[in-house]
Chains A and B, each alone.
Chain A
Amino acid sequence: MAKNTVAVIGTGQTKFKTHYADKTYVELAQDAAKLAMDDAGVTPDELDAIVFSMAPTQFMGVNDCDRWATSHVWGTGKPFMRIHAGGATGGSALQAAYVHVASGVHRTVLVVGADRVAETPDAQHVLNLIWDRFYEHDFALNTVTMTALAAQRYMSRYGTTEEQFAQVVVRARKNAMGNPYAHLKGEITVDDVMNSPRVAYPYKRFDICPRSSGAAAVVLSNLDVAKEKCARPAFVNGVSAITHSVFMGDRMGVFSETEFSDHDGEHIAAYEAYRQAGITDPTSQIQVAELYDPFSTFQFPSIESLGFCGRGRAAAISDEGGWDLDGQVAIGPSGGTLCTNPIGVTGLVRVVDAANQVMGKAGQNQLPNVHNAVATAVGGSTQFFAVTMLGDDHATRGRVQ
Chain B
Amino acid sequence: MDVFVIGQAVHMPAARIGEKRLEELVFDTAHAALADAGVRRGQIDHVTIAGCDELDGRSISSMLLAAPAGAQLRDEMKCTDSGLTGLCLEAMRLESGIFELGLLVSWSKPSTAPLEDVMRMRCEPFYTRPIGLNMAITDALFAQAVGEKYGFDEFDADEAVLEAYRRADRNPRGIGHGVPAMEDIALSPYLAAPLRREHQAPITDGAVAMVLASAEWLKRNPNARALAQVAGIGWRNEQYDLGSDRLAGLTGFRATLDDALMMAGLKNAAGLDLLELESQTGFHELAFRAALNGNAPKDISTSGGAFAQNPYFCTGLVNAAEAVLQLSNNAGPIQIPRIKRAAAHGSHGFAQQGNVAVVLERV
Residues on B with C-beta less than 8 A from A75 are 237
Complex A-B, nearest 3 residue pairs according to Cβ-Cβ distance, in ascending order: A103-B95, A102-B96, A243-B76
B251:A77 contact, CB within 8 angstroms: yes
B77:A62 contact, CB within 8 angstroms: no
Residues on B with C-beta less than 8 A from A64 are 52, 54, 80, 122, 349
A239:B98 contact, CB within 8 angstroms: yes
Residues on A with C-beta less than 8 A from B237 are 50, 67, 70, 75-80
A126:B78 contact, CB within 8 angstroms: no
The yes or no answer to B269 lying at the interface (CB within 8 A) is: no
Residues on A with C-beta less than 8 A from B72 are 243-245
Say which size band chain B's interface belongs to.
35 or more
Residues on B with C-beta less than 8 A from A201 are none
The yes or no answer to B108 lying at the interface (CB within 8 A) is: no
Known contacts being A70-B239, A71-B239, A105-B92, is A82 close to B81, with CB within 8 Å?
A: yes
The yes or no answer to A127 lying at the interface (CB within 8 A) is: yes
Q: List 15 A-B contacts (CB under 8 A).
A: A1-B98, A2-B96, A62-B122, A70-B240, A75-B237, A77-B237, A80-B237, A86-B60, A99-B98, A103-B1, A103-B91, A103-B97, A104-B95, A239-B98, A246-B67
A96:B77 contact, CB within 8 angstroms: yes
Q: Mark A345-357, 1 if CB is under 8 A from B, else 0.
A: 0000000000000
Q: Which of B228-236, B279-287, B338-346 contacts A (4 or more CB under 8 A)?
A: B228-236
- CA distance in complex: A117, B124 (Å): 17
The yes or no answer to A46 lying at the interface (CB within 8 A) is: no
Residues on B with C-beta less than 8 A from A66 are 80
Q: Mark B33-72, 1 if CB is under 8 A from A, else 0.
A: 0000000000000010000111001111011101100011
Q: Look across to chain B and name the residue whose beta carbon is closest to the beta carbon of A381.
A: B63
- CA distance in complex: A228, B234 (Å): 27
Residues on A with C-beta less than 8 A from B89 are 81, 96, 99
A130:B251 contact, CB within 8 angstroms: no
CB interface residues, A 1-58, toward B, < 8 Å: 1-4, 24, 26, 50, 55-58
A62:B62 contact, CB within 8 angstroms: no
Q: Mark A362-389, 1 if CB is under 8 A from B, else 0.
A: 0000000000000000011101100000
The yes or no answer to A92 lying at the interface (CB within 8 A) is: yes
B60:A130 contact, CB within 8 angstroms: yes
Known contacts being A71-B241, A103-B96, A105-B95, is A80 close to B236, with CB within 8 Å?
A: yes
Interface positions of A (Cβ within 8 A of B):
1-4, 24, 26, 50, 55-58, 61-71, 75-86, 92, 95-96, 98-100, 102-105, 126-127, 129-130, 132-133, 239-246, 257-258, 265, 268-269, 272, 276, 379-381, 383-384
Residues on A with C-beta less than 8 A from B63 are 86, 130, 246, 380-381, 383
The yes or no answer to B289 lying at the interface (CB within 8 A) is: no
Residues on B with C-beta less than 8 A from A105 are 92, 95, 233, 263
- CA distance in complex: A94, B71 (Å): 19
Q: Mark B110-129, 1 if CB is under 8 A from A, else 0.
A: 00000000110111111000
Least Cβ–Cβ distance between B327 and chain A, in angstroms: 22
A85:B62 contact, CB within 8 angstroms: yes
Least Cβ–Cβ distance between A390 and chain B, in angstroms: 16
A2:B97 contact, CB within 8 angstroms: yes
- CA distance in complex: A238, B92 (Å): 16
- CA distance in complex: A276, B353 (Å): 37
- CA distance in complex: A84, B124 (Å): 20
Least Cβ–Cβ distance between A150 and chain B, in angstroms: 15
Known contacts being A76-B238, A79-B235, A80-B235, is A243 close to B92, with CB within 8 Å?
A: no
Taking a contact as CB atoms closer than 8 A, the residue among A83, A98, A239 that contacts B78 in the complex is: A83
Least Cβ–Cβ distance between A23 and chain B, in angstroms: 13
The yes or no answer to B304 lying at the interface (CB within 8 A) is: no
Taking a contact as CB atoms closer than 8 A, the residue among A1, A63, A65, A384 that contacts B76 in the complex is: A384
13 additional A-B pairs beyond A71-B239, A85-B60, A99-B89, beta carbons within 8 Å, are A61-B125, A63-B119, A66-B80, A67-B237, A70-B353, A86-B63, A102-B96, A103-B93, A132-B64, A239-B98, A269-B75, A384-B62, A384-B76
CB interface residues, B 207-260, toward A, < 8 Å: 233-241, 251-252, 255, 259
- CA distance in complex: A65, B122 (Å): 7
B58:A130 contact, CB within 8 angstroms: yes
Known contacts being A61-B125, A62-B125, A64-B122, is A257 close to B73, with CB within 8 Å?
A: yes
Residues on B with C-beta less than 8 A from A239 are 98
A83:B80 contact, CB within 8 angstroms: yes
Q: Look across to chain B and name the residue whose beta carbon is closest to the beta carbon of A383.
A: B63
- CA distance in complex: A331, B76 (Å): 26
Taking a contact as CB atoms closer than 8 A, the residue among B66, B80, B98, B238 that contacts A2 in the complex is: B98
Residues on B with C-beta less than 8 A from A381 are 63
B92:A100 contact, CB within 8 angstroms: yes
- CA distance in complex: A1, B98 (Å): 6
The yes or no answer to B74 lying at the interface (CB within 8 A) is: yes
- CA distance in complex: A272, B63 (Å): 22
Q: Tell which of B57, B66, B123, B263 has the most Cβ of chain A within 10 Å.
A: B66
Q: Look across to chain B and name the residue whose beta carbon is closest to the beta carbon of A269.
A: B75
Known contacts being A246-B63, A381-B63, is A1 close to B73, with CB within 8 Å?
A: no
Q: Look across to chain A and name the residue whose beta carbon is closest to the beta carbon of B81.
A: A81
B78:A92 contact, CB within 8 angstroms: yes
- CA distance in complex: A82, B52 (Å): 11
A81:B54 contact, CB within 8 angstroms: no
Least Cβ–Cβ distance between A8 and chain B, in angstroms: 17
Known contacts being A67-B122, A84-B53, is A102 close to B235, with CB within 8 Å?
A: no
Known contacts being A67-B122, A92-B78, is A258 close to B73, with CB within 8 Å?
A: yes
Q: Tell which of B71, B98, B126 has the most Cβ of chain A within 10 Å.
A: B98
Least Cβ–Cβ distance between B87 and chain A, in angstroms: 11
Residues on A with C-beta less than 8 A from B74 are 242-243
Least Cβ–Cβ distance between B262 and chain A, in angstroms: 12
The yes or no answer to B350 lying at the interface (CB within 8 A) is: yes
- CA distance in complex: A245, B255 (Å): 39
B71:A243 contact, CB within 8 angstroms: yes
Residues on B with C-beta less than 8 A from A77 are 236-238, 251-252, 255
Residues on A with C-beta less than 8 A from B96 are 2-4, 98-99, 102-103
A71:B97 contact, CB within 8 angstroms: no
A63:B54 contact, CB within 8 angstroms: yes
Taking a contact as CB atoms closer than 8 A, the residue among B71, B79, B241 that contacts A81 in the complex is: B79
B124:A82 contact, CB within 8 angstroms: no
The yes or no answer to B85 lying at the interface (CB within 8 A) is: yes
